[in-house]
Amino acid sequence: MFVIPCSAGKADEARPAAELYTSVFFGQALAAARSEVADADILVLSARHGLLALDDEVAPYDTKMGDAGCVDVSKLAAQAIGRGLVDADVYALLPASYFARLDEALRIFDTYATPVYEATGGIGDQKHVCSVLAARDAA
């Protein structure tokens, strides 16, 4: 399973999660995840809603991880069960604050996500990781 982050850039109306988020970085993370697994094995970690399948319909919102109203660990843990993350191989293409929340929820079940960006120095490096993964699929 791959977990990618939501983004601040969003469409103006409700759409499936794969289409709601409009940032370039979201597109790169989605392409990278798609180079590794099928869409059914990709989840978006929404700061407001938690774990979303790519086809889950979502209305635009303005919440970042750490804001009031963001998804809490208990809700994320319950979703992790329902979304099949417990005891799965989980690869997280997530910035630090998003990874920390997911990690806290999964550790309740002794499940540990792999932080794909762990050795990166920032967003530029993270974008590079995504482009390398996506390019492997194109080759």
Structural domain includes residue 139: no
Region for residue 122 given its phi and psi (left: phi exceeds 0; alpha: psi -120 to 50; beta: otherwise): left
137 lies in some domain: no
Residue 3: predicted pLDDT? 98
Q: Which of 29, 18, 3, 39 is nearest to 111 (CA)?
A: 3
Domain-embedded: residue 63: yes
**Within a domain: 107:** yes
- Number of domains observed in the structure of the chain: 1
What's the pLDDT at 35? 93
Q: Which domain holds residue 83?
A: 2-132
CA–centroid distance for 111 within its chain:
16
28 part of a folded domain: yes
Total-model pTM: 0.92
pLDDT in the model for residue 138: 59
Distance linking the first and last C-alpha atoms of the chain: 22
Backbone angles phi and psi of 16, in degrees to 5: -60, 150
pLDDT of the chain along its 139 residues, tens only?
Answer: 999 999 999 999 999 999 999 999 999 999 999 999 999 999 999 999 999 999 999 999 999 998 998 999 999 999 999 999 999 999 999 999 999 999 999 999 999 999 988 877 777 777 777 788 888 765 5
Q: How would you write 57-123 as a 3-class SS string?
A: EECCCCCCCCCCCCCCHHHHHHHHHHCCCCCCCCEECCCHHHHHHHHHHHHCCCCCCEECCCCCCCH
